[in-house]
Structure 1
Amino acid sequence: MHYDATDNNHGLKYDPFKAIVAPRPIGWITTMSAAGEINCAPYSFFNAVSDSPNMVAFSSRGMKDSATFAEETGEFTCSFATFELREQMYLTSMMLPRGGNELEHASLEAAPSNFVKPPRVAAAPAALECKWLSTTPLPSRAGITEYYLVIGEVVGVYIDDRFIQNGLVNTAGMRPIMRAGYDHYFSVGSDQLFRIKRPDDNPMAPVLTRP
């Protein structure tokens, strides 16, 4: 099939866009308002956007608490959801009244950050502490703005020592979960991990190898 994405006349039960652009890492964003209110919500429109310096971004449909609080106080954290924490992540996606604490709602313990005020999810195997840089509206060609892109610079990193092995982070060992389309998610384990060397690293080396 081939359809006009502007009219979205795909004829399917649901819009397939998010099922195509997948899997997407989940940024479990925790923010704090100027009044000290805590918000924690998972964002699948999330990713790293720079490594010099380290930067991440998440996209919010409307100025929800995460985007509003990040801009208000200039800080946020991003914890990473795992298969073990899938139910808690689901619970933090529920719409609570503004200022409602999703960590408490999901029975999640908060851990203090070292470089910013918003806490991280204590049970998460890794977290990034970020300083807010900008919030950018994302208008369509028709001039309609539904989403806002929030960018932060990473100023602190937490990694559970259990997942540092031979000087490397064992990402697959964390079993991160990622968003697909509809109500589908992906979980990654060590058996799915493989390597592809860059062509300029060693032109004579095998392209595909297992770790």
Structure 2
Amino acid sequence: MFYEAGQHRTAGLPHDPLKAIVAPRPIGWISTLDRDGRANLAPYSFFNMVQTTPAICAFGSDGMKHTAANAVATGEFVMNLATRPLFDAMNGSSAALAEGESEFEHAGLERAPCRLVKPPRVAASPASLECRVVHAMELHDVEGRPTGGHLVVGQVVGVHIAEWALKDGRFDMLAARTIARCGYRDYTEVTALFSALRPTDGGAYLPGQRDR
């Protein structure tokens, strides 16, 4: 099957498969403050780390929603790790609340202070990244027309990790029960891991060997 992007319905697909193809995707559970110091919290599945040193992450917003507007206005945001025990609260924080209404209270979540940025973090989350905005832009299509989407890029300046989520000096995703978005209305939980070395690190891949 082939179809031009955006024409999935003419190809007989009632739902756009792109979000399911590019999956699973990390969920950026972003907390911010508006100019008046009011807290906001919302999940974004268009989120990821994009650089290691310095650590830089980014999230995309379809439209200038409260989270993106707050991050741009104040220059700060916090990424809180979404986990299976926190799924209902995370999902509840996606409600379309009026400006100034706090998703923390709406979802029954306790706040915790950050060290280097002003927005609060989700106290129950096993990991949070304090970020300062380094880029913010409206996205354009191949014709140069504005799409209404916005990209916010932040440098990680502080990292919070719950002690129980550390094992042998590594963050334990299985213990944290990290979740990810899989397109449509589907999510997944990290329940199994496998490890491998890259060829540059001593790993080997034989020609003709099939991936398992």
Assess same fold via TM > 0.5: yes
**Retained in 1: the 8 A contact 2:46–2:59?**
yes
The whole-number CA distance in structure 1 between the counterparts of 2:204 and 2:181 is 36
TM-score scaled by length of structure 1: 0.92
Instruction: Indicate the residue corresponding to 2:68 in structure 1.
Output: 67
Q: Contact (CA 8 Å) 2:27, 2:179: kept in 1 or not? A: yes
Give the Cα–Cα distance (whole angstroms) in 1 for the partners of residues 17 and 148 of structure 2.
Answer: 19
RMSD, aligned α-carbons: 1.6
Question: Counterparts of 1:15 and 1:130 in 2: how far apart (Å)?
Answer: 32
Cα distance, 1:49 vs structure 2? 0.6
The aligned counterpart of 1:169 is: 171
Deviations 1:192-211 (A, max 9, x none): 20001111222469xxxxxx
Task: Give the equivalent residue in structure 2 for 1:197.
Answer: 197
Shift of 1:39: 0.6
Q: Kindly tell me the number of residue pairs found equivalent between the two proteins.
A: 204
Q: Does 1:127 align with 2:128?
A: yes
Corresponding residue for residue 151 of structure 2: 149
SS in structure 2 of the partner of residue 200 of structure 1 = helix
SS in 2 for 1:196: coil
Residue 105 of structure 2 aligns to a residue in which SS? helix
The 8 Å contact of residues 196 and 203 in structure 2, kept in 1 or not, is answered as: no
Shift in CA distance, 6/107, structure 1 to aligned 2, threshold 3 Å: closer
5 Å matches for 1:24-103?
24-103=25-104
Query: How many Å separate the matches in 2 of 1:151 and 1:195?
Result: 29
Q: 1:30–1:38: 8 Å Cα contact kept in structure 2?
A: yes
Please, which runs of 5 or more residues in structure 1 have no aligned partner? 206-211
Alignment-derived partner of residue 186 in structure 2: 184
Pairwise CA distance, 1:172: 2.3
- 1:193/1:113 Cα in 2 relative to 1: closer, same or farther (>3 Å)? same
- The alpha-carbon deviation at position 56 of structure 1 amounts to 0.6
- Give unpaired runs (5+ residues) of structure 2: 206-212
Query: CA–CA distance in 2 between the matches of 1:28 and 1:10?
Result: 34
The CA distance in 1 between the partners of 2:119 and 2:18, in whole Å, is 33
6-15 vs 46-55, which moves further: 6-15
**What secondary structure does 1:129 align onto?**
strand
Distance in 2 between the 1:203 and 1:103 partners? 45
Q: How far did residue 33 of structure 1 move?
A: 1.0
Task: Give me the whole-angstrom Cα distance separating, in 1, the residues matched to 2:204 and 2:125.
Answer: 39
Instruction: Look up the match of 1:138.
Output: 139
Counterparts of 1:70 and 1:158 in 2: how far apart (Å)? Answer: 19
CA deviation string 1:83-112 (max 9, x = no partner): 011100110011101121001000000110
Matched-pair identity in %: 46
Q: Which amino acid aligns with 1:109?
A: E
Say yes or no: does 1:13 pair with 2:14.
yes
For residue 71 of structure 1, give the secondary structure of its aligned residue in structure 2.
Answer: helix
- Asked if structure 1 preserves the Cα contact closer than 8 Å seen for 2:138 and 2:147, the reply is yes
